[in-house]
Chains A and B, each alone.
Chain A
Amino acid sequence: MTARLRQSPTLAILAGLWVLLVAGIALLSPGILTASTLTTILQFSSILALVSLGQALVILAGGAGIDLSVGGIVSLASVLAMMAVSAGLPATLLPLACLGIGLALGLGNGLLVTRLRILPLIATLATFYVFSGSAVALTGGAAQSGVPAAFTPWGRGALAGIPLPFLTLALPLFLVAGVVISATSWGRWLVAMGDNERSARLVGIPVDRARLIVYGLSGLASGAAAFVSLAWLGSARPNIGQNLELTSLTAVLLGGVSIFGGRGGVAGVLAAVLLLVTLQTALLRLNINTVWQVGIVGALLVAVLVADALTTRRR
């Protein structure tokens, strides 16, 4: 309850920004404001939301936690899973292959961080290069087509204007994560270790095991995002994960999770994902140069960080 209250300034700020943004669009180009635009936004949001959820858990768990390899995992998991299907893996196992590969790659990150004690920034930067490089090398940069037709109706379908991947995968996972963080021992341990790792160890929380699991979950979430991309696009693109590490990081920080861990929740992260994708979609539709897009997203991040710092200091 208290965590929720402390999170609400972020949620309020994000909602305010979103309203401003939509008002701005209504003024500049009212033609964009249609139900189909909303569907598009949610469609693009699905992948970023899944990846950001994993990123949020890693950062929340503290210990300088960060996962720069998420985009690499999305690319490599989609490419490898497609190659496995082409090589004879039963098509029905495609989702499991994506999840399994994502989990394995994430656990690899976790082992580097918890066993070898490599700084997460460095470990996941290294695996980012390995994963995204391998995805391109294995395919020569070409998209792998041939996603079984059975999956595309889910990947492209919508119910009442809400894309199925968002409605049946991203949204439920955020709900589950929100409940686990606020209402279970596991969630409390995660926050406690992010907040004060020494004390978490002193009370006997299995910090290293929890951290390994969290990196595994981030990989799993990226694997799920890989499957969404396959079912949506109908092919595996070796560069599908490009920039996801930066956008997911932006979403997580915008969403009110402290980069030092132990503070924040996933509701803000989902709100930030929606805000970011709305902004990107609007800029795209308004024909604003992509260079400006990056700058505007950055300015937004700075604004929210400043607002957060000011409210934190007042407490």
Chain B
Amino acid sequence: MPTPLLEARGLTKRFGALTALSGVDLDVNAGEVLALLGDNGAGKSTFIKVLAGAHAPTEGTLTIGGTPVAFASPQDAANVGIATIFQELALSENLSIAENVFLGREIVRRVAGVPFLRRREMKDVVGRLLDELDAHISDPDAPVGSLSGGQRQAVAICRALYLDARLVIMDEPTAALAVAETRKVLDLTRRLADRGCAVLLISHNIADVFEVSDRMAVFRRGRKVAERRRDATDPEEIVSLITGAHPDVRALDKQQ
């Protein structure tokens, strides 16, 4: 068994008196799609925000490829190859598609220290990425404010693709999408993993999760209550783990 790409140990995150995440251990391996499931408020987004450098954990450790890391910002996480598509998408409506994809890491030509944008180059890269996604967006210079929900999702995914990341985290990437777009995102998820990338996918859609993931972890009230390989479980079991009807989860709930 090779070492996991990412190991989280005892991750805890408290917001004041509220414990959003409590002692979570989880490994993420290269080349696999790991799905996170759980009710609203279970702590999934909080977990991935810690991995993405958007929240500092209250307790616990993260190692990447065996080396401990501590992220002060999403930029730090990006620098070690973690790309995140946040649930809130994190796009600027007044900037163009290309500007959003490159926001914070623009391609520039420095003249006397001043970072001038290389618009043509950025536009070309984004055009290629959008084609790869089959996103039906013709003009990378269009403002993001004029796009539909699915198109925005595609822009956010482009950001992650451009990073050429080792770990891509997607928080409910298909929540706003129609059937055809959902297909594309699921295909892409699979392709990323087959390329050797690790993918962490959050979704409420059990059918999607069973189609695309290799492994699933179920969160409940800030804890990880179960972890299953896809070939060792079925949708009914996962649903009962999420809702708390499963005997294992009942036992855990009682312990608390």
Query: Which residues in A have some Cβ–Cβ distance to B below 8 Å?
Result: 1-3, 6, 180, 183-186, 188-189, 191-192, 195-196, 198-205, 262-263
B-side residues, CB < 8 A to A, are 54, 73-75, 78, 86, 88-96, 99, 103-106, 108, 114-117, 141-143, 159
**Which residues does chain A contribute within 8 Å of B92, judged by CB atoms?**
191-192, 195-196, 199-200, 262
Residues of chain A within 8 A of B91, CB atoms compared: 196, 199
| Docked-complex contact B95 and A192, CB < 8 angstroms | yes
B160 CB, min distance to chain A CBs, angstroms:
11
Minimum distance in angstroms from B166 CB to a CB of chain A: 18
A301 to B108, CA, bound (A): 38
> For A198, what are the chain B residues with a Cβ–Cβ distance below 8 Å?
88, 90
Instruction: Let me know if B95 and A195 touch, CB within 8 A.
Output: yes
**B residues in contact with A203, CB < 8 Å:** 74-75, 90, 103-105, 159
Q: When the two chains form their complex, are residues B90 and A2 in contact, meaning their CB atoms are under 8 A apart?
A: no
The distance in angstroms between the C-alpha atoms of A196 and B95, with both chains bound, is 10
Which 9 pairs across A and B sit closest by C-beta, in order of nearness?
Answer: A204-B75, A199-B90, A203-B104, A185-B115, A202-B90, A192-B92, A185-B106, A195-B92, A195-B94
- Least CB distance from B149 to A in Å reads 16
Of the A-B pairs whose beta carbons lie under 8 Å apart in the complex, a sample of 14, sorted by A's number, is A2-B141, A180-B114, A184-B117, A185-B106, A188-B117, A189-B103, A191-B92, A191-B95, A192-B95, A192-B99, A195-B95, A202-B74, A202-B86, A263-B94
Among B92, B106, B142, the most chain A Cβ lie within 10 Å of the Cβ of B92
Residues of the B chain whose Cβ atoms lie less than 8 Å from the Cβ of A6: 143
Given contacts A192-B92, A196-B93, A198-B90, 8 further A-B contacts (CB under 8 A): A184-B115, A185-B117, A191-B92, A191-B95, A200-B104, A203-B103, A204-B74, A262-B94
Does B116 lie within 8 Å of A188, measured CB to CB?
A: no
CB <8 Å contact, A183 and B117: yes
**A262 neighbours in B (Cβ, 8 Å):** 92, 94
A198 CB to closest chain B CB, in angstroms?
Answer: 7
Tell whether, in the assembled complex, residue A199 and residue B94 are in contact, meaning their CB atoms are under 8 Å apart.
no
Task: Given A185-B115, A188-B99, A192-B95, decide whether A204 and B104 contact each other with a Cβ distance below 8 A.
Answer: yes
| Neighbour of B103 across the interface among A2, A186, A205, A263, CB < 8 A | A205
**Minimum distance in angstroms from B87 CB to a CB of chain A:** 11
Asked whether, in the complex, the Cβ of B78 is within 8 Å of the Cβ of A1, the reply is no
Q: Identify which of B88, B106, B116, B142 contacts A199 (C-beta below 8 A).
A: B88
Task: Determine the distance from Cα of A196 to Cα of B92 in the docked complex, in whole angstroms.
Answer: 6
**A2 to B96, Cβ gap below 8 A?**
yes
How far in angstroms is the closest Cβ of chain B from A59? Answer: 14
Is the pair B104, A205 in contact by a Cβ cutoff of 8 Å? yes
Cα separation A263 to B93 with both chains bound (whole Å): 10
Kindly list chain B residues whose C-beta atoms are within 8 Å of the C-beta of A184. Answer: 108, 114-117
Bound Cα distance from A204 to B73, whole angstroms = 6
Residues in B with CB closer than 8 Å to A205 are 103-104
Distance (Å) between the CB of B99 and the closest chain A CB?
6
Q: How close is A266's CB to chain B, nearest CB, in angstroms?
A: 15
- Chain B residues with Cβ below 8 Å from A180 are 114
Distance, CA A145 to CA B88, complexed state (A): 58
Docked Cα-Cα span, A262 to B95, in Å, equals 9
